[in-house]
Amino acid sequence: MAYLLGVVLFALAILISVSLHEAGHMLTAKAFGMKVTRYFVGFGPTLWSFRRGETEYGLKGIPLGGFCKIVGMTPQDDDVEPGDEKRAMWRYPVWKRTIVMSAGSITHFALALVTLWILAISAGLPNPAYPTTEEQARQEPAVVALSDCVVPDNTARACAPGDAASPAAQAQLRDGDRITSLNGLPINNYGQLLTTLRGLPPGSTATIGFVRDGQPGTATTTLAKTERPPLDDPKGAVGPVAALGVGLIPSTPTRVTYGPVGAFGATADFTGEMAVGTYHALQRIPQKVPALWTAITGGERDVDTPISVVGASRLGGEAVENNAWLVFFMLFVSLNFFIGVFNLLPLLPLDGGHIAIAWFERVRSWIYARLRRPDPGRVDYLKLMPFTYAVILIGGVFTLLTVTADVVNPITLFSR
């Protein structure tokens, strides 16, 4: 029940975001005097509507987005009634059209930023000092988290019958103990612990020095055997090594909370990281298409493959089911930021495509004026229709792939 509630809540959050996107277009267009004839949430048959002034507002039967109709978006549009010619959108200055067309993405960015600011002062944002690479982790103090077992091969899986019990657990170590020595050799960080273990034969006896709650102690255990690649060559050939059955508990917290003022800076820093991550994610989209096809045809689903609204809603359901509300809201933030950036790509029919054409016209007119040549006028959108249809087709196929993958082989964040 909680899972279904989470799916519905996330889908509703997406619908509200898209509706506010269209409201951004509508409100800025009206503020500049453009004529907006329709604003609807959803698509398909009209369920309910009313008219206020010159605009019809309403709900439609398929809750998969929304739209607003601004009269005369292009010179080729035939929706301009007599007497409204001056209010056609394409006749307005390029800076006004830019604001109107970018208002949708700005709305998504605003939703993401406000949500991040609230999270920063309540649940906290990811700690920039938290170790995210193996090299950073090796510099951390050897504060350990006990494993239930030692997996004998170089795979990431749950414990199975026959796996050796964790030697550290058998030595009565506890989560949070800091290992300070191994067979008399000092251990100053987690990297030294790994290096020292590699110098010991599996099955040998190890004497462990540790600190617990400020008090030193010692324990003795028999090291287990596992398979690992060399520490200096993670992609090298695996071989038998000694294992203690522990992981690392970083000394820095995963999240940091801020005051109302400090949260602005933290939000800005995190947004910068998201911008870089989104840029790289967009670059990787073409190479992820084969991975999506592999997931659809029965292969393992790569967690780094793109997801659709269906996949995002399913992850939102998992988050609610596991009471991981921070994950829920971070998904909401990430999705809004990605949609905002994606919608500004200079491709028709995206808003960024209309903005790019408006500025192309402006620059071209400026150049022709300097050359004392007649203004070439507006771009003929009809000539761009084949390119527009190609973008729609590619986008439709990609959406179909992601939705199918999210249905038949979804990404999961939590074990169910």
Catalytic residue among 22, 81, 134, 321: 22
Are the C-beta atoms of residues 341 and 105 closer than 8 Å to each other? Answer: yes
| Cα 363–Cα 368–Cα 371 angle in degrees, nearest 5 | 130
Specify the amino acid at residue 336: N
Helix ranges restricted to H, 139-206: 167-170, 190-198
Task: Decide: residue 210, CB within 10 A, 0-12 exposed, 13-18 middle, 19+ buried.
Answer: buried
Distance, in Å, from the CA atom of 395 to the CA atom of 347, rounded to the nearest integer, reads 11
Strand 164-165 relative to strand 178-182: parallel, antiparallel, unpaired? unpaired
Active site residue 135: no
Give the sign of the dihedral formed by CA 311, CA 316, CA 317, CA 323: positive
Strand 178-182 relative to strand 185-186: parallel, antiparallel, unpaired? antiparallel
Residue 112 phi, psi dihedral angles, 5° rounding: -65, -45
Phi-psi label, residue 203: left if phi above 0, alpha if psi -120 to 50, beta otherwise: left
Residue 199 phi, psi dihedral angles, 5° rounding: -85, 0
| Residues with a known catalytic role | 22
